[in-house]
Amino acid sequence: MNKLDLIRKSKSLFMKWNLHHIAGSLEGGLLNLAYMSKLSKWRNDNAVTGYNDWYQQSWDYSRRINLYKSVLEKQGLAQVPIDYIEFGVSSGSSFRWWLQHQQHEASNFFGFDTFEGLPEAFGPFGKGEMAASLESIGVTDPRATFYKGLFQDTLIPFLDQYKSENRKLIHMDADLFSATIFALSQLYRFLNDGDIIMFDEFAVPTHEFRAFQIFADSFYINYEVIAAANNYLFLAVKIRKD
């Protein structure tokens, strides 16, 4: 029996023996450990060229504002028209921050969310948690448009009609691996040199980090890490196509 036949037979036996009954209870922990190792190596291999507060002994959600300010100022976004696209609007705090600090009249702001909470469990959060109604956000700026529903239902129709020359600032606050990988893969053909992608839970290894790594590797994405905050939980990368 040659090596290829041996590999094929081994795989068949694993399925016959219902390996998932044996390894299933370990799968989540092993996957998390594997991607934590990948995240550690990624951090070591990718220098941050701008704001970086590494290392912090405590966690402070407000540090993301430091990252926002750095991206706004260092990337020259304050006085030029941009398209701000946010996935995972929730209560709208980050959406409102960018509306308030980016005042160009030709800018567009697009917000995507189910507005009914998480479509699946995320760590300690169950399905349906973190819900915030669209009406509660209180945004009246005419530059803002919201899309209610799963990204898998709303993003493709939006992109079919999307035409803009503005620089894009994409805020990935989708939390989930499934939502993040879907949104990134659909946005690929619209990404231009200098566009920026921000992440709100990048340091969660099996969700946003995992999705970004698979996306970057699969689509051969070149990028520069321009800012990191809260021990890489909040991250910003700039697309490089030059």
Give the CATH number of the domain where residue 210 resides: 3.40.50.150
**Do both 10 and 73 map to the same domain?**
no
On whether both 117 and 17 belong to a single domain, the answer is no
More confident residue, 3 or 137: 137
Q: Are residues 178 and 87 in the same domain?
A: yes
Identify which of 217, 223, 227, 211 has the alpha carbon closest to the alpha carbon of residue 175.
211
Report, as an integer, the average pLDDT of 156-176. Answer: 95
Tell me: do 125 and 73 sit in the same domain.
yes
With bands split at pLDDT 50, 70 and 90, how would you rate the model's confidence at 11?
very low
pLDDT(17) > 70: no
What ranges make up the beta strands (E) of 138-233? 144-148, 167-172, 196-199, 223-229
In this structure, the answer to whether residues 34 and 101 fall within a common structural domain is no
In this structure, the answer to whether residues 106 and 26 fall within a common structural domain is no
Average pLDDT over residues 20-44: 82
Give the count of domains, the chain. 2
Considering the domain architecture, whether residues 108 and 17 belong to the same structural domain is answered as no
Q: Are residue 38 and residue 59 in the same domain, yes or no?
A: no
Q: Point out which residues pair with 170 in neighbouring strands.
A: 85, 197
63: Cβ contacts below 8 Å, ≥ 6 apart: 53, 56, 229, 230, 234
What predicted TM-score, i.e. pTM, was given to this entire model? 0.88
Please indicate, yes or no, whether residues 5 and 115 belong to a single structural domain of this protein: no
Question: What number is the average pLDDT over the span 149-172?
Answer: 96
Question: 10 Å Cβ neighbour count for 54?
Answer: 11
Residue 9 has pLDDT above 90, yes or no: no
Q: Return the structure tokens found at 167.
A: 């620089």
Q: What is the mean pLDDT of residues 1-16?
A: 56
**Which residues make beta-bridge pairs with 87?**
112, 172
Question: What is the rounded distance in angstroms from the CA atom of residue 180 to the CA atom of residue 175?
Answer: 7
Q: What is the pLDDT of residue 129?
A: 55
Whole-number pLDDT of residue 211: 96
78 pLDDT more than 90? yes
Which of the four pLDDT bands, split at 50, 70 and 90, describes residue 23?
A: low
Going by the DSSP 8-state scheme, the letter that residue 188 receives in this structure is G
Q: Are 107 and 83 in contact (CB under 8 A)?
A: yes
Q: Are residues 72 and 98 in the same domain?
A: yes
73/118: higher pLDDT: 73
Residue 4 is predicted with a pLDDT of 55
Confidence of residue 198 (pLDDT cuts 50, 70, 90): very high
DSSP state at residue 75 = T
Q: Where are the beta strands (DSSP E) in the chain?
A: 48-52, 82-87, 108-113, 144-148, 167-172, 196-199, 223-229, 234-239
Q: Are 174 and 201 in contact (CB under 8 A)?
A: no
State residue 115's pLDDT score.
83
- 229 pLDDT higher than 90: yes
Contacts of residue 234, Cβ cutoff 8 Å, sequence gap at least 6? 63, 64, 67, 198, 199, 200, 202, 227, 228
Query: Are both 114 and 127 inside the same structural domain?
Result: yes
Contacts of 39 by beta carbon, 8 Å cutoff, 6+ apart? 203, 205, 209, 232
> Which pLDDT belongs to residue 15?
57
Residues 196 and 76 reside in one and the same domain:
yes
Domain containing 18: what range?
A: 1-45
